[in-house]
Chain A
Amino acid sequence: MFGFHYRLERKTIGLVLGIIGVASIGGLVEIAPLFTIHQTVEDAPDMRVYTPLELAGRNIYIREGCYACHSQMIRTLRDEVERYGPYSLAVESKYDHPMLWGSKRTGPDLARLGEKYSDDWHVAHMINPRDVVPESVMPGYAFLQRTELRTDDLGKHLKAQRDVGVPYTDDMIANAAADAYGQAAPDSPAADGVTKRYGKATTVRAFDGKPNDLTEMDALVAYLQILGRLTDAAHKPVATAEKKP
């Protein structure tokens, strides 16, 4: 073995090919089957896609680096299930490009945050977290309230999402900007389009309390309120995939 190596280390290309070969095996064995084994991701027929407003909110969550302190992955441990809710299923992040499971809980897990608090609470919390949680160490995000949401490129966002596998329809892509506005303006004519395209259960509210302005705060709160609510698969007693023949 050492004699073989004694000869190998005299050949640059031999070393290069050896490193590539040896280093490829682990990833191939662990990652490739995740795309082919059906049971990896459960079936959830009721799963819906993010609305344009929620997707914009998700992008703000990414932009501000929220994932550095908040996980979105409840583990299969008793205390986590009691603290946060039913453990997370793979299907719940099936449309998450990229996933935001996180790796650190400087703040609590957010996988089941949706509709746990009111919109008003979220807005106040974002403007200054210590107004509602005195011990909090979270930064304030008051600027979200004074920043208008960019909607003109939302169609492109949905289009790119479809390119990577999220089932957005042509109708959804064409009306992305209008739907973003409509979801935060319940009394406007655009609001009907949102429920028509994304389902009756879609939350249509003036998230930041001001139906006339579409701000980044609207988008972020809309996203926080949908967390854990795209499907109710996790609330069923047994994961659906196990029932399949």
Chain B
Amino acid sequence: MVAELTKNERQGALVILLALAITGLAMAAGGRGDPFGVHGALVLVTAIVGIFAVISGYYAPEPSPDRLDSYYDTPTKFGIIAAMVWAVIGMAVGDWVAWLLAYPEWTFDAAWASFGRLRPVHTSGVIFGFGGNALIATSFYVMQRTSRARLPDQLTPWFVLFGYNLFCVIAATGYLMGVTQSKEYAEPEWYADIWLVIVWVVYFVLYLRTLNRRKEPHIYVSNWYYLAFILVVAMLHIVNNLAVPISWGSAKSYSLFSGVQDAMTEWWYGHNAVAFFLTSGFLGMMYYYMPKRAGRPIYSYRMSIISFWGITFFYMWAGSHHLHYTALPQWVQSLGMTFSVMLLVPSWVSAGNALMTLNGAWHKVRDDAVLRFMMVAAVFYGLSTFEGSFMAIRPVNALSHYTDWTVGHVHAGALGWVAMITFGAIYASVPWLWKRNGMYSAKLVEAHFWLALAGTIIYVFAMWNSGIIQGLMWRTYNESGTLAYSFVDSLVAMHPYYIARAVGGVFFLLGAIIGFYNIWMTIRTASQDEAAQNTADRPVAEPAVGVPALQPGE
């Protein structure tokens, strides 16, 4: 990896790592006796390891100028492996906590091992670890191809990927030590948030730099979605995480907002983390990998325009449907409900556009499990956006809110849509990236597909059942006009569904482990087949004849 950097980039890497080491040292010194100091030590050690790695490769020969004739894909390879590692960790912890709800004794008498601390490790592990790495990795791949331009340099993509994973590690280890802001899906504390802003700005600038080098006059639709993902996540992240730390040596901070304003800000963030992290970016992924794999062009250019701007505009109003019947003013609730229902239009336009793209390629869907992953993802996208709009209707929400139905809905989207499209995209790109004819085992891809689909369906049905039963039991009255069930009655009724849900989780986790093994074996099996060398897969050289194919900025 260091060998791929130019001399200047190696020096730049050393400067960045040195600054990081000094920051880590200051944090460790200032935060003694606090988790803040532990994280300082973690940053320091990471930076020192990085410095050693760069120094050990410092005197290696510089990369040859030939590299500029091909795309720079090593960061994408790293990102895909990181995504799979986080997938296995995040899903394993998720399944463990699912079992804890059925059998609360299956843990240790230790603070870190309780449900409340492990749950955010699961949510952040799968959303930010698995989803985030997959988004960054595929965005590097897609923006280069659709722009026909190489990444502008070799150092920035590594900064983005390593920086982002450092954020994920700080987040996950922090939860185990009890460091959390308690804002759902924005749990990391102030210093991790600041670090993520730095990484994110560099990511955004890298994206713009690559787009500006493009040899295609038009920016492809995938890039609109990736851009919306990067920009809006930055907006949400900065506003929702505004906080005052109690000191520069403590992990603890207090949110700038309180009560009802905080609730609205948090769910404006929370719902749009779903929109722009878990939808927008993955739609970008779908718009590239699905037509590529199916060998069909996108069905409708106009539908992609309508759905893109519809999603970007409507989603931002929908967050208040998380707060129906609460102390949030009714007018905000009504706006949230209205826009949530309208949101169905652009969502189904997207899902429809994806499925219509498969017209003429349905025989491939039958034969190719990779394409089937993507097709099922589009179907689940359609289903869960319909369910979401439905649950945002106030009287429906009266029943569904606070119950497992919400959990089921989230997982229909997260397992059925986000994870399926990601696995599809990863299975498609691994042979392309490592120049193989195909995956190590098509049968294992098939096995993963059925395990993932079965796991999702078991999970979602279990949570629909438990959620609706819960909601009904809480509001049932007996003949004398008093509540028929105590809270504990409803808890006991959940037990079989909690077991079923955890079993569904095992299926899904098993699929992910098989996928990881299959990817690993594909990489290890060295079959440098000439047929796999796609000569068309390279950036467009400068048109002037006789001039070296150097690109601006080199």
Are B260 and A69 in contact, CB atoms less than 8 angstroms apart? no
Judged by a CB distance under 8 angstroms, whether A95 is at the interface is yes
A180 to chain B, nearest CB (A): 15
Of A34, A88, A89, A104, the residue contacting B264 (CB under 8 A) is: A34
What residues on A are CB-neighbors of B246 within 8 Å?
153, 156-157, 159-160
Are A27 and B474 in contact, CB atoms less than 8 angstroms apart? no
Are A100 and B182 in contact, CB atoms less than 8 angstroms apart? yes
Question: For chain B residues 222-278, which have a beta carbon within 8 Å of chain A?
Answer: 224, 227-228, 231-232, 235, 239, 243-247, 250, 252-266, 268
Are B317 and A26 in contact, CB atoms less than 8 angstroms apart? yes
Judged by a CB distance under 8 angstroms, whether B475 is at the interface is yes
* Known pairs A10-B218, A65-B120; A34 contacts B332 (CB<8 A): yes
What residues on A are CB-neighbors of B100 within 8 Å?
137, 139
* Known pairs A79-B474, A135-B491; A25 contacts B120 (CB<8 A): no
A-B pair number, CB within 8 angstroms: 257
Complex CA distance for A26 and B315, rounded to whole angstroms: 8
Judged by a CB distance under 8 angstroms, whether B403 is at the interface is yes
Question: For chain B residues 107-129, which have a beta carbon within 8 Å of chain A?
Answer: 107, 109-111, 114-117, 119-120
Q: Mark B301-326, 1 if CB is under 8 A from A, else 0.
A: 11001000100111111111011111
Judged by a CB distance under 8 angstroms, whether B19 is at the interface is no
Of B178, B179, B258, B401, the residue contacting A95 (CB under 8 A) is: B258
Of B101, B266, B483, the residue contacting A82 (CB under 8 A) is: B483
Judged by a CB distance under 8 angstroms, whether B138 is at the interface is no
Question: For chain A residues 9-38, which have a beta carbon within 8 Å of chain B?
Answer: 9-10, 12, 15-16, 19-20, 22-27, 29-31, 34-35, 37
* Known pairs A98-B266, A163-B244; A19 contacts B228 (CB<8 A): yes
Judged by a CB distance under 8 angstroms, whether A113 is at the interface is no
Which of chain B's residues has its CB closest to A39's CB?
B329
Complex CA distance for A82 and B403, rounded to whole angstroms: 18
Question: For chain B residues 156-192, which have a beta carbon within 8 Å of chain A?
Answer: 175, 178-184
Stretch among A56-64, A186-194, A219-227 lining the B interface = A56-64
Are B227 and A29 in contact, CB atoms less than 8 angstroms apart? no
Q: Mark A36-48, 1 if CB is under 8 A from B, else 0.
A: 0101110000000
Which of chain A's residues has its CB closest to B260's CB?
A90
Question: For chain A residues 75-133, which have a beta carbon within 8 Å of chain B?
Answer: 75-77, 79-80, 82-83, 87-109, 129-130, 133
Question: For chain B residues 65-111, which have a beta carbon within 8 Å of chain A?
Answer: 100-102, 104, 107, 109-111
B270 to chain A, nearest CB (A): 8
Are A98 and B183 in contact, CB atoms less than 8 angstroms apart? yes
What residues on A are CB-neighbors of B258 within 8 Å?
93-99, 164-166
Which of chain A's residues has its CB closest to B224's CB?
A15
* Known pairs A22-B313, A160-B253; A30 contacts B260 (CB<8 A): no
B251 to chain A, nearest CB (A): 10
What residues on B are CB-neighbors of A22 within 8 Å?
309, 312-313
Which of chain A's residues has its CB closest to B211's CB?
A12
* Known pairs A31-B268, A34-B261, A90-B260; A10 contacts B219 (CB<8 A): yes
Complex CA distance for A129 and B326, rounded to whole angstroms: 29
Complex CA distance for A15 and B308, rounded to whole angstroms: 12
Are B320 and A30 in contact, CB atoms less than 8 angstroms apart? yes
B376 to chain A, nearest CB (A): 27
B331 to chain A, nearest CB (A): 9
The number of chain B residues with a CB under 8 A from chain A is 99
Q: Give the secondary structure class of B's interface.
A: helix
Judged by a CB distance under 8 angstroms, whether A204 is at the interface is no
Are A164 and B119 in contact, CB atoms less than 8 angstroms apart? no
What residues on A are CB-neighbors of B23 within 8 Å?
none
Of A66, A103, A156, the residue contacting B247 (CB under 8 A) is: A156
Are A65 and B235 in contact, CB atoms less than 8 angstroms apart? no
What residues on A are CB-neighbors of B322 within 8 Å?
103
What residues on B are CB-neighbors of A92 within 8 Å?
259, 327
Complex CA distance for A22 and B272, rounded to whole angstroms: 14
Are A88 and B327 in contact, CB atoms less than 8 angstroms apart? yes
Are B262 and A98 in contact, CB atoms less than 8 angstroms apart? yes
Are A62 and B268 in contact, CB atoms less than 8 angstroms apart? no
Judged by a CB distance under 8 angstroms, whether B528 is at the interface is no
* Known pairs A24-B235, A26-B339, A143-B110; A64 contacts B262 (CB<8 A): no
Are A160 and B245 in contact, CB atoms less than 8 angstroms apart? yes
A148 to chain B, nearest CB (A): 13
The residue among B116, B217, B320, B488 with the most chain A CB atoms within 10 A of its own CB is: B116
What residues on A are CB-neighbors of B402 within 8 Å?
71, 102-105, 109
Complex CA distance for A107 and B545, rounded to whole angstroms: 72
Are A139 and B115 in contact, CB atoms less than 8 angstroms apart? yes
B298 to chain A, nearest CB (A): 14
Judged by a CB distance under 8 angstroms, whether A198 is at the interface is no
A108 to chain B, nearest CB (A): 4
Are A98 and B244 in contact, CB atoms less than 8 angstroms apart? no
* Known pairs A9-B224, A75-B326; A140 contacts B262 (CB<8 A): no
Of B181, B305, B317, B488, the residue contacting A5 (CB under 8 A) is: B305
Are B317 and A30 in contact, CB atoms less than 8 angstroms apart? yes
* Known pairs A41-B260, A143-B109; A65 contacts B117 (CB<8 A): yes
Judged by a CB distance under 8 angstroms, whether A73 is at the interface is yes
Which of chain A's residues has its CB closest to B475's CB?
A79
Q: Mark B386-399, 1 if CB is under 8 A from A, else 0.
A: 00000000000010
Are A63 and B180 in contact, CB atoms less than 8 angstroms apart? yes
What residues on B are CB-neighbors of A66 within 8 Å?
116
What residues on A are CB-neighbors of B403 within 8 Å?
104-105
* Known pairs A29-B335, A133-B488, A137-B491; A20 contacts B235 (CB<8 A): yes
A189 to chain B, nearest CB (A): 28
- 22 residue pairs A–B, Cβ–Cβ below 8 Å: A2-B302, A19-B231, A19-B312, A25-B313, A27-B316, A40-B260, A66-B116, A67-B182, A69-B116, A93-B258, A97-B257, A98-B254, A99-B260, A101-B263, A101-B326, A137-B101, A140-B114, A153-B247, A157-B252, A159-B246, A160-B254, A164-B255
**A interface residue numbers (CB < 8 A to B):** 2, 5-6, 9-10, 12, 15-16, 19-20, 22-27, 29-31, 34-35, 37, 39-41, 59, 62-69, 71, 73, 75-77, 79-80, 82-83, 87-109, 129-130, 133, 135-143, 153, 156-157, 159-161, 163-166
Lowest 8 A-B CB distances belong to which pairs? Answer: A65-B116, A26-B316, A75-B325, A26-B317, A93-B259, A63-B178, A98-B255, A90-B327
**B interface residue numbers (CB < 8 A to A):** 100-102, 104, 107, 109-111, 114-117, 119-120, 175, 178-184, 208, 211-212, 217-219, 224, 227-228, 231-232, 235, 239, 243-247, 250, 252-266, 268, 301-302, 305, 309, 312-320, 322-329, 332, 335-336, 339, 398, 401-403, 406-407, 470, 474-475, 477, 482-483, 487-488, 491-492, 498
Known A65-B175, A95-B258, A137-B498; 7 more pairs at CB < 8 Å: A23-B228, A65-B182, A77-B398, A96-B259, A98-B255, A139-B115, A156-B247
